[in-house]
Amino acid sequence: MCIKIFRKVSSSMRNTYCVTKVLFQYLEVPLSVNIRISSVMHEAIVPNRTSATKVGIQTDIRQTAVARDAYSGTKKSTSSVNHKLEGSKEKFSKDVLEYLNSKDYLKSVLYCLPQKLLKRKRSNPDALYTVDRDVAKKLVDVIALDVVKGGAPVFEVNPGLGFISRELLAAGVQRLWLSESSLAFSQQLKDLKTEFTEKIEIVNKDLFTLPKLAFQDNQDGGSRVRSLFRGVPKSEWKDDPVMKIVGVLPSLSFIKYIIQSHVFQHGVMALGRPEFYFVMTPAHYFCLTCQPGDGYFFYRSTSVLFQLIFEWCLLEKLPRTGFLPWEMKRGTKRWSKVAKVHNIDPGTMYLVKIVPRKNFFQTVVSADQLQPLWFFVRHNLISRKNRVIPQLEIYSLDRKWIPGCGSRFIVDGMTIFTQFGDLTPQEILTVFHKFISWPEYGVCPFHAVMETTFMRMESGIDSTGKDSDDEIEEDEES
């Protein structure tokens, strides 16, 4: 922290006031708190800025930290919490605070909630937390029988205050891994561990950040992902689910990760078939399950691959108020591309069961053709307006995949104007099976282009383009 603050301060440090102002900003201490700066610091800064500045900053950090602790306190009383929130410079949402104060069981833990959870978010948050006991009980009541069945290890992502955790244990879960990276909830996790010593394991990582950990493993040959699942035995794909994961999805990045994990057989999907119980927004559910008629902006490669690989079921609709942070209130602009999807079931969250198809390698594609299928879908749906016949006949001006193959599709009723965005996932799968069945497939440039793409992915450069959910997230943030 000292190094970070020193970098920020050094360019503008002229007097004690400048230092104090910057420290207030980066340590988040309200200006109303009166901190007395030591004269030693002022004397150390002026004569020798190179060496003594750092000493001065460290001295002030200790004083500021003490003042901040005195200001924040650890009292759990409602009045102390409200005083802290009112004195902070952060702009909290009034309706969020009113909702939390309406729950008697939240008044004693309101002080430990990260301040970013008390503000409405326009873009996708880093994590979503369940803060309503009634919502947690309703959620677990729906999934309890399936989660307990078979005795597979259960992972809960971002348990936060532990409301879902307690309900899962009460429902009969014998082994529960709690994946939580936020230190703000460390006391709640310790209390759970003390109460259920033999049933709980705490993982100080957010499983929804597996894409980042997998990339780091790929770069340095590490085993970060595997270490998170060291208690999970590897099983065959056709066996019962190897583990069950419960959590609230903040975005679709984890869904993309498990798709790639299945395609390249690494990470969580290499252990066997997991079973997922995710709470997600209606917008994310729509993007995963939409069809060609729902619009080119939403129907992309992630939609197609998800529907080919997984089976899913919408189990329950839950109130959005039970999960923090809340979304920013949106205007209904007619020209907004995402206006349609954000008007689906406002004020609700969807509880969805997602399971990889048990017979995937028999009914969808064989293991040796899984990666070509992934590349075929990704490449041809970079633009949903790509026409099927020209796309498969001519890859570029100087490269032709399978010249003259268009007539074979026309015989089946396809026209020269048919676009990939017009085809359902099953129809795209049918086109792929025809494509790889032709004699020319073995020697066409398709393989070279695919291998080049994989090499670029290995180096951290994915040239296959963006999906619709990427664009939706960018539109939300703008």
Q: Which residues are annotated as a binding site for S-adenosyl-L-methionine?
A: 130, 180, 206
Strand partners, 310: 356
If you search the block for the tokens 């004699």, which residue do you land on? 439
Neighbouring residues of 427: CB distance < 8 A, sequence distance ≥ 6: none
- For CA atoms 254, 179, 167, 92, give the dihedral sign: negative
14 touches 49 (CB < 8 A):
no
Single-letter amino acid, residue 21? K
* Cβ count near 37 (within 10 Å): 17
Q: Checking DSSP bridges between strand 310-319 and strand 323-324, what pairing results, if any?
A: unpaired
For the residues of 43-75, what is the DSSP string, one character each? HHHTT-HHHHHHHHHHHHHHHHHHHHHHHH---
Distance, in Å, from the CA atom of 248 to the CA atom of 124, rounded to the nearest integer, reads 12
Distance, in Å, from the CA atom of 6 to the CA atom of 61, rounded to the nearest integer, reads 11
What letters, b where the CB count within 10 A reaches 16 and e where it falls short, cover 258-275?
A: bbbbbbbeebbbebbbbb
Q: Which residues are annotated as a binding site?
A: 130, 180, 206
* Cβ count near 401 (within 10 Å): 18
435 touches 392 (CB < 8 A):
yes
Tokens representing residue 302 in the block = 């992630």
197 touches 225 (CB < 8 A):
no
Q: Checking DSSP bridges between strand 348-356 and strand 274-280, what pairing results, if any?
A: antiparallel
Distance, in Å, from the CA atom of 263 to the CA atom of 69, rounded to the nearest integer, reads 49
